[in-house]
Structures are given as structure tokens and as C-alpha cells.
Amino acid sequence: MELNKIKRQTHFVAGFSFQGKRTSNVGEDLLTAKVAGEDTELLDGVPVVFNGELQEVDVCDAGDTPDAILYSRISEDLTDFEWIQTDILRDEVKPGDPATIVLFKTGGIIRTRLADADTLSAGDEVEVGDIDTEDAYVEADAGDVIGKVIDVEDGFVTILLK
């Protein structure tokens, strides 16, 4: 499926503290970190892990449990569409610049297009997939179960995080 890069790919539906995302009173679940070694596009919603530094993360390996989820889109080809609309739809940063991440929270609910809405259904358990070859969230096989699908609708998969 071709993803619309103008709209957010992942929504943080419940269980996260985002109070004051765009003010000085920033929510407790939001952090700023650089994604190490990435010079290619990463969409919001990609799972990440801390790599030994508080302000630097790596893309989570397939089957592992993430420490956080990317809130920002990372790309060399940024759009200014939200500025034209005067409505910010998504955070965007260039590779190497600090991005916003959201701490992975047990009991949190995300709604994402980074999972296959055609093959997943309510009740399926999910793990992190290899984002180079498959979706970010795939049906659990041999890796760490990170959540359970609670709804699939309009190309979005809603996941209750474990």
C-alpha cells in the first residue's frame, strides 16, 4: 500500500501524556532524540530502542521490544503542506536532526498504517517487523509480543500495547 506522506501514519490514541506538545509544558512521554545512522526516510510510528545514550536511538530490530515509537517523520524531502494549511499535521525533521519520540507504554493504544490491515484482525498478537522488508508491526511469530490488535478499519490497525 502506498502511504500518504502528508498525513500522520500513527496516532497515539490513549495512554500517553502529550500535555502541551507545542508549548513549554511538554508531556512526560515525549522525548527528543537523534536516530543514529539513519539517512533515509522514516515514517512516524517506527519503533525505536535506546542505544546507550539518552538522546540517541536506533530503529528497533525485528522481534525485539521497543523503548519508544517515533513521533516525527524523518526525511530529506520535507513538505511544508501543513504550514500552507496553517494546521500542523505531523512533525518533520531532516536526517541527523533531533526527532520527537514517544515512550513505549504498556496499556497505550496506537492506531497505525504501518501494519497490514488486510492480514491482521482483532485478537491477533503483534511483534515488531523488519521495516526494511515488511511492515513495522506484524503478526507475532517468534519475536517479543508487543501488543494485541483491537480493531482494523480504513487501512488503520489499532493496537493495545503490552
The pTM for the full model equals 0.86
In a domain, residue 1? The reply is: no
Domain around 142: 10-161
Least confidently predicted of 46-55, 106-115, 140-149: 46-55
pLDDT at 87: 47
pLDDT for residue 74: 87
Give residue-wise pLDDT tens across range 2-46: 565 567 889 999 998 876 555 555 667 888 899 987 667 898 999
Does some domain include residue 4? no
Q: Tell me the residue ranges of DSSP E strands in 15-74.
A: 30-35, 47-53, 56-59, 68-70, 73-74
pLDDT of 25 reads 57
pLDDT in tens, 47-102: 999 998 878 999 999 999 999 999 998 887 665 554 555 444 557 888 888 899 99
DSSP-based three-state secondary structure for 85: helix
Total number of domains in the chain? 1
CATH of the domain at 130: 2.40.300
User: Does residue 123 sit within a domain?
Assistant: yes
Residue 82 maps to a domain: yes
d(CA 140, CA 91): 29
